[in-house]
Chains A and B, each alone.
Chain A
């Protein structure tokens, strides 16, 4: 039966179009038929998820070439086309994206009171843009989709407000929106200039052609800086990280999940796919710089986290720390480091999203995110405490969870390059344990605070079922990561060899 399915013609463009079709269907349904809207939204996202799983099954591990490649003509004269394909590096990001979107839709099941239809449409459009980002092998169109994710996240604000608007929570939401938008845009326009420069000098933006062109070292350095401007804002690296805690705090739960789960990966994916292979000499030139920034970021954000009082900000800052771990791993430029960074990215996608879901569950019940109002939740919400414990331990990189594998591989890779950086990064791990455990302690154990909270309810069935896939994913990646790593080996080996980094 699998043979029969394998003979089907699996199309990447179909994967990108599937959520768009769902959103078009949704746009003609009136706002009053809520159950139908929710049903269609959920079904579309689940179908997309299953569709992406087919790509994983069909994926051929033995070659580093791009698979399921398709070309759709866009602009013939400057040679820019929709050139789509997957290789070992991007495969899992696509799967992660399609995995997280149904979760987000489920999260908004009962907590979104108004503009339900626009919420769904925005998520589905956002999903298709994000899948397009990870599949796109043409530089300019990658940039286009990289930036177009901004609009559904911010865009028609009340309609899709994944970040702000009717579903956001405070007056500072506008400030957060501005910051998010302008930071990202300013960084990216420099990348646009660099891409256009490459286009005018080499005549093409096709990645496979650009991988074989040699830029002179000075030019590589300039182009690398321009690309860095854009990617480092998304990662986020110090000192461009300020938008992240603000954006997370103001966003509704599902928005935070998407933001932490996928948008942060766009920056590091860009580094991995474009900066490192196309500009190898510049990468080597800038590696100490990136190391310095990342180590400062890890230690600084971990220390800052300890002092935070807002639950979401704590997790947001810990996201920053994890993503900077990822950049240390990537710029160690050996197979262990890069594999570790991808695995940590995937695991961070699961763990941070799950943590934001936990916080979202608390927020839904008590409408506050300040830690001081919570305490002693273990007696009233035991299921929640167990699940929250699991994800806190995963955030801390406990062995047995996926983030441990990721961080371990990164440290192995980084140690080979520069032992001081690896030591300092490991310090970051210790600090991570500090704030995670302290947060858990304050919220779950200890005494009740009956002055603040009087009513309690444990997780309902929908919420437990949302958390279950995350638990399964984290344990699977932590106990037997080879399933994931085997798809990446060839592609990453090719990358390292291509830049002559070994």
Chain B
């Protein structure tokens, strides 16, 4: 539709057309363009499992083989967020979309925090936690400033690492049909290093200093406050604490509960353990020396937007 109304699909040309062109619901000369852009937005939001277009995510994540789940909880997010940054910051830069993204972000965070509390299957819980995380990433995205984009990029990178870590652990335990969270019980006694890896990753998801997840969250909230989105930051912070509850529950189950049948875990193969080690190292020690990474993303954000 965009092509139909504007005649171009090139980003640069679109950017030139839309500068100064106010697209409102009622005023636009060409409401077709508005509908076109709206459809694009919705399409993107579907793929990225943002609320309110997230319905497919829990069931699909849970039903697919874990390898596939880990792929498409990481890869589409990166690609689509990058794509959205290109499209919406570069071409269709307009405050109308900002409100939509605000709403999506708030709703994702709240849903991610609350829905995950009731889950007792691992992959569903990870789904809802990734929905919540997409909400946080959207905070960075919806304030259209350079800091917002930078925080988005940092957040995506750290999210990717954490998710790789979590799914590697789930895969490592896969041989024993690891479906329910309660199966994790007493992991601390059978496989203590894995337990400590999972706890650190869970704490990083929850955003507890001094792990990497905290760095990404603090920068996201900083960007939000910097552009005046106080409500967003406030809700983000409160949902952070709420989600912390079920992340700690993971830790509690691992260390305190005894499963009904004691599961004996086979040792995992070498590549997985290497992957876990690298991501764990990064999550734990990112805090000590983040500045080259922040500089790189700053440059990336600047080049994307200017």
Contact = CB atoms under 8 A, between A and B. Distances in A.
A147 interface: yes
Interface in B157-182: none
B237 A151 contact: no
A147 B208 contact: yes
Contact of B221 (A76, A177, A196): A196
B117 interface: no
Nearest to B240: A189
Contacts of A78: 222
B203 A186 contact: no
B199 A155 contact: yes
A158 B188 contact: yes
Interface in B276-303: 287, 290-291, 294-295, 298
B248 interface: yes
B256 interface: yes
Nearest to B206: A185
Interface in B27-67: none
Contacts of B209: 143-145, 147-148
Contacts of A193: 221, 225, 233-234, 237
Contacts of B294: 75, 77
B245 interface: yes
Interface string A199-228: 110000000000000000000000000000
A150 B225 contact: no
A242 interface: no
B290 A74 contact: yes
Contacts of A73: 291
Given A74-B290, A75-B294, A190-B237, A181 B244 contact: yes
B218 A196 contact: yes
A148 B226 CA distance: 25
Given A174-B256, A182-B245, A189-B240, A200 B225 contact: yes
B241 A76 contact: no
A133 to B, nearest CB: 11
B116 interface: no
Contact of A181 (B195, B226, B248): B248
A156 B238 CA distance: 24
A189 B238 contact: yes
Contacts of A88: none
A65 B244 CA distance: 39
B251 interface: yes
Nearest to A147: B209
A199 B221 CA distance: 11
Nearest to A159: B196
Contacts of A197: 225
Chain A CB within 10 A, most for which of B195, B209, B221: B209
Given A75-B294, A156-B196, A181-B244, A150 B208 contact: yes
B218 A200 contact: no
A160 to B, nearest CB: 10
Q: For chain B, which range describes its interface: under 10, 10 to 19, 20 to 34, or 35 or more residues?
A: 35 or more
A159 B251 CA distance: 12
A140 interface: yes
A54 interface: no
A178 interface: yes
A192 interface: yes
A157 interface: yes
Interface in B212-261: 214, 218, 221-222, 225-226, 233-234, 237-238, 240-241, 244-245, 248, 251-252, 255-256
A349 interface: no
B291 A75 contact: yes
Interface string B186-208: 00100010011001100100001
Contacts, number: 88
Given A181-B248, A192-B221, A144 B237 contact: no
A468 B233 CA distance: 50
A140 B222 CA distance: 11
A406 interface: no
Contacts of B240: 189
A174 B256 CA distance: 9
A165 interface: yes
B219 to A, nearest CB: 8
Nearest to A82: B288
Nearest to B199: A156
Contacts of A76: 291, 295
Chain A CB within 10 A, most for which of B252, B256, B290, B298: B256
A181 B202 CA distance: 14
Nearest to B290: A75
Contact of A199 (B200, B222, B245, B287): B222
A442 B238 CA distance: 46
A174 B252 contact: yes
A156 to B, nearest CB: 5
Contacts of A174: 252, 256
A192 B255 contact: no
Contacts of A190: 237
Contacts of B244: 181-182, 185
Contacts of B192: 158-159
Nearest to A78: B222
Contacts of A200: 222, 225-226
A192 B218 contact: yes
B214 A77 contact: no
Contacts of A157: 188, 199, 251-252, 255-256
A30 B97 CA distance: 58
A145 to B, nearest CB: 7
Contacts of B237: 189-190, 192-193
Interface string A353-392: 0000000000000000000000000000000000000000
A185 B196 contact: no
A178 B248 contact: yes
A144 B241 contact: no
A196 B222 contact: yes
Nearest to B226: A200
Interface in A155-188: 155-159, 165, 174, 177-178, 181-182, 185-186
Contact of A151 (B208, B222, B256): B208
A284 B172 CA distance: 58
A148 B208 CA distance: 7
Contacts of A177: 248, 252
* Cβ-closest 5 pairs across A and B: A144-B209, A200-B226, A189-B237, A157-B255, A147-B209
13 contacts: A77-B295, A144-B209, A147-B209, A148-B208, A148-B210, A151-B203, A156-B196, A158-B188, A165-B255, A196-B218, A196-B222, A196-B225, A197-B225
Given A158-B188, A192-B221, 13 more contacts: A75-B290, A144-B214, A145-B210, A147-B208, A155-B203, A159-B192, A165-B256, A177-B248, A177-B252, A185-B244, A189-B240, A189-B241, A196-B218
